[in-house]
Structure formats: structure tokens, C-alpha cells
A and B are shown apart, each in its own frame.
Chain A
């Protein structure tokens, strides 16, 4: 890859700045080595996981999942983000994203692996002392130790800092005695190491602890009976006078909530990647079925209604994938820049991820909702067989649903994405005010009827994007003015704004990826990608318009409402495309390849 001097980007800046195509990473740039890593993941699923999906979900053999984790550990799949000095492979962020994507097709196994490598391992990697890292990371990297993360409690879910679990320093000052009840703990049944969040004495904030199963005082309920990911161990875990040595406090006292939140940032972007992997598998299966299944004398893949679904599934996944790896690389680059500036690696990794917390939340929502769209249409393409528990869509459909719930529900992530943008604007880290005022002025002035002269590829689409950003700024700016500190009571409006931001970010990423790819391979070779980028933008404009109208109509009246609606109309103008034919072309390509092959 040619070296391009890259301007440092900041999280949330996509709302006010334009990004050049050569400054984003696209999955087509993965190296041969990264592709081999991806292939290993695919081979692993094909050899060890796919032949045993029923057995895994039956939970009859409690040793099966841990043994699969051991095998993944032998291949090194548990240690990709752990430095070599701690027994891992020190691969970069986007390589670990790629592993997550590929394993994402693995149903319950994917959940077990990502809980282990993500929320269970990363707190130690990022916040652990030298001794803690040396003691636990090599085992977690090899799979000898298996990890779980205990944040949620029966009365503390979305409101994670409200947990009641307590840690009290014992008389000799050498142990914390933990008491409490944790719920929905992934890998709970077989984990050796639990990251446990509890409050020390009467602290307001959580602290985090590394708890070994062998410390004693840990009991658990039976496995939860779940709608999907039935093979993933999920337990209630009870801590009754569990003695945790003081040296197992993670980071500082009272730092637990910050740890939880920062680790979740990574969990969220990775969940997005995992959903992309699961979606691709469903597309492959659904397209294959659509070509095999004949009704009215032809393959159902020949019907426009089915082509619509296939074209739409592929486009959404292409879009989600484009944005996910863009964030991944932005995080990586920020980490590198911070380290070059002298920051220690662990801290740089945290700060780098934190910087893109907005985008992580956005991609969690987008990835999980794309997957739910894809599995839903997957079931539909299979028809009656989609409803059969003996065909693959049943499991795909049920397993997908959890993604909108864990790692912060999609409501919480939508709220957070807007909240973070506004907080950064208030702190002066993100200059929203200037551009928002500019937009206000613009809607009061005569529209620019200037003809588009630039007929370069995507020039018109980029103009649309610039306008869409103005639409977001207009609506968000007006809502903030109207409600000020009370905006948090208007969640419906925040949800609208969150969706507008998400659509802008994803549409822009899709366009930039396609522009860069076209530069590498030429327009002809990228015709379907160009179709998908244009189609996504076309529909994003509609969705942004709808959310914008919903928001405006909920708080503006009279002249103000009229002006804003006109402004919105102006900012959501796009030249018509033949979406039907575009989707058909995309679908024909996918059907021809008999797979999501982009």
C-alpha cells in the first residue's frame, strides 16, 4: 500500500469534515498474511464448528465448548490482540476485527470466543499491572484459562453503574471479600477467570477485580434457557464471601465503570464486525437456496421480489463492512500516533478506542440491525423451510437477535452516540457550533441552484453527503437550542438524530470505500460496488429525510417548522436512480457467484 500522509481524524468529526477516500482503510487492502489468518478462521469453523452445531446447541456435553476453545487456542485464535511478550501474536486492530468477522459466522461458538478474547481478556490487557498481565495473559492467549465478564446484575442492566455487588477489605488488609449476584454471564459455566465489577465499601463507582474460580465462594445457577445462542454458556454467578487478594484489584479503586465502558467500546465495534461475518454466511446460504429452489417452473432467484431481497441484503452488509473497517483503522492509526507521541501502549490503546466511541456505538447498532434484516429475509427466502428447525435459517434467525441486546442495548447505544457528540461539542473538542450556525444561515437564504459541473465519479454523491451532514446539524442544533439540558427527556428525538448520524457515517464510508477501490481496480471491475454505494446513499437519504421530519415536527411550529422542513428538503435532495434495476444487477452478481463475493 502506498504511504499517504494521513491527517489525524477525531471521533465524531465525520459530521463536520470531509474525508478523502485514500485516508480510509478498505477490506480489499488486507495483506496476504491477513487473508491467511481469515482463512484459518474459516477452516476452523468448517472443520470443528459447523459439523457440530446441533451438538453445541444441545449443551449435552459440557466439555464441548471448552474443548473447542482449546482448539482455537492451539491455532492462536485467542491471542491475536495479545502482545508476543505475553504469549500472543500482537496483531493489529483490524486483523483482530477480521478474526472477529470470520468467527462471527460461528453461532454460539462465536459468542464464547468473542466474550473470552474481548470483554474477559481486554480489561487485563489494557488495565492490568505488569504482574497481572504476566500472570493471566499467557493462559488467556493459549486458552488454558477461559474468561468471563461479570457486570450485569438482576437489578442492574443498562444502568450498569448501579450494581449492588460489594467488595470489603478484610481485617488483615490482604483480601477483598466480594458478595453479590451477577446475571447473564457468558462463559460463566466453564470460565476460570472472572472480571468482576463491584463497589468497594460505600463507593459511588464500581471497581474491577480479577477473580479466579479457585478463590472459593463462587456458585452458579443452571444454564439459562435462551431463544438463541443456545450453546453459549450463560449463567447467574453468585459470589458469597469470595476472597480476592488485594493485588487482584484491576487498575485503581473506583475505576471500574470506566473500565467497563472502555472495554465495551471495543466490544461494540467488534460486535459490528461479527455481525458482518454472520450476515455474509446467511447471504451465501440464502442465495444458494434461492437458486436451487424451483417454483412455477423456475428458480425463485429469478423472481424480482427475491432479487430485491438479495440485492438489499448484500448492499447493507457491504455498507456495514465498509464502515466497520474504516473505524478499525482509524482506531489503529490513533493508537500509533499516541504511542509515537510517547504514550505507553496500553493507555494509547484505550485512548485510541475512546476517541472513536461514537463510531463504535454507531457500528454496533448498524451491524446488529443489518444482521437482523439479513436473517429475517433469509428465513423469507427459504419460505416454509425457513421456518423448519432442520434448516439453517432457524438457528441464524434466533442467534442473531441477541446482538441488539448485549454490549449495551441498541437504545442505549443510540442515546450514547448522540450524547457523546453533544458532550464533545460542549467541551469544545468538536466544533459543531460553527457549522451548525452556518447551516441555520443557509436555510434562511436563497438556495444554490448552481448546476453540478463536476462529473467526476461520485462528485454528485459527495455533494449529497455534504448536504446530509447539514441536515443532521440543522436538526440536532435546533433540538439542542430548544431543549437545552432537557433534551435527554426527549429520547424519541435523540433516536431520530442517532439514526441520521448513523446513516451519514455508513453512507459516507461506503462511498469512500468504493471510490478507493475504483481507484485501485478501475470502474468497470467495481460496477457492482458502485451500484451498492449509490443504492445505499439513495436509501439513506430517504431514511434521513424521514427521521429529520419526525424530529422537526415533534418540536417546531409555524415559520420555524416551515423553514426547517424546507431546509431539510433542500438537504435531502438527490438525483433519482433506478433502484429496482440497481438491486437487480447486484442480485444477479451475487446469484452468479452463488455467494456474497465482494
Chain B
């Protein structure tokens, strides 16, 4: 089991943690994960060289919330990709998965190899034990340079949400004033 991360060196404690809970080795692509296409290209490149049976990743990252990498990797490798997977069992060369969909649950069976974008409660929260931590030190963590990717997206601007105003107290007897404010100022009515 290999852990792959596209990120700068500050991600290494997290990679070591993955090694401590059971991964065999790790590869870190030493680059800032600038966009989903860039990250997917790096992962696909590594996957091509290693012929993995199953590529698991999160449904989306908690810092960028793109939710595209699994789909892109699947496309680049010509593999089926499924997301968000909330339950997963491997039986021989078949993977049984469950997805939550609008108004219900979908069960699927897909043949290996495949890519899955996973979401809780896919696995239990595993805490590294002392033996794992000690052995993580000796497991290989390979740092490689990224393959070149033409920049496909550019962030043009960030905007902060407007600061929250303070609470306005309006006495109960002046309900019409409240309605006017909700209509004209808060624009929620």
C-alpha cells in the first residue's frame, strides 16, 4: 500500500501518520497543489508506473473543496471512478461499494482496477499505535519532482465575505420596521 501526496514538506507529518497506521511506503510529489488538474496529472503519472489495483482518495480536499481529482485521475488512466463512496468491500477482483445519492442509497459492483473518491463513514478512525509510529521511521518516503503541467486555471481574485454587522434590536411593537429592514437591508424577504 503506497501513500501518495502532492504537497510541500509540511505534509510529511501526515504522511508519516499514514505509514504509522499501516501503509508500506510513501511518495510525495514536491509541489504546491495548485489545481485539481495539476494534482491529478501527478497522481496519474505515479499510478501508470506502478499498476495499482485500487486508488482511494478523499471525495474532496478540506482546503480546496474541488472534488474533481478522482474523476480526472480515472479519466487519465482510463479507469472507472466512483464518488462519493461510503462503504467499500473487495471480493476477489470485484469491489462492492455503496454511495449515498439524492433520496437514497446506491449499491454498485465494479471490477478492479478503479478509482474511488471516499467519504465518511468509509473507515473507522484509526489511531497510530506505538509500534506503528516506531516502524514508520524506517518505511521509505520518496520525494519526487512533479511532471510539468500546463497551467489550466488561474485564481484571479479572493474576496472575503462582508464582516458580520452587529445585532439590531427592534422592539416587538415596531414589527413593520423589522419587515422593512429584512426586505431592504438584509434582502431576505
Contacts and interface: CB of A to CB of B under 8 A. Distances in A.
B175 interface: no
Contacts of A520: none
Contact of B130 (A43, A47, A77): A77
Contact of A43 (B127, B134, B137): B127
B17 A76 contact: no
Interface in B112-156: 125, 127-131, 133-134, 136-137
A35 interface: yes
A44 B20 CA distance: 15
A39 B136 CA distance: 14
A40 B134 CA distance: 12
Contact of A89 (B17, B20, B131, B137): B131
A37 B133 contact: yes
A80 interface: yes
A35 B13 contact: yes
Contacts of B125: 43, 47
A40 B13 contact: no
Nearest to B166: A297
B28 interface: no
Given A33-B133, A33-B134, A33-B137, A40 B128 contact: yes
A199 B178 CA distance: 82
A32 B13 CA distance: 7
B127 A76 contact: no
B127 A89 contact: no
Interface residues of A, number: 18
Interface in B170-186: none
A75 B129 contact: yes
A79 interface: yes
A36 interface: yes
Interface in B11-66: 12-13, 16-17, 20
Contacts of A39: 17, 128
Interface in B62-78: none
Nearest to A75: B129
Contacts of B133: 33, 36-37, 40
A36 B128 CA distance: 8
Interface string A25-40: 0000000110111011
Contact of A44 (B127, B131, B136): B127
Contacts of B134: 33, 89
A340 interface: no
A74 interface: yes
A487 B17 CA distance: 56
Contacts of B12: 32
A36 B127 contact: no
B129 A36 contact: no
Listed residue (B16, B125, B130, B133) with the most chain A CB atoms within 10 angstroms of its CB: B130
A295 to B, nearest CB: 14
A529 B37 CA distance: 43
A32 B136 CA distance: 11
Contacts of B136: 33, 36
A44 B136 CA distance: 19
A32 B20 CA distance: 12
Contacts of B13: 32, 35-36
Given A35-B13, A79-B130, 8 more contacts: A36-B133, A36-B136, A37-B133, A39-B17, A40-B129, A40-B130, A44-B127, A80-B130
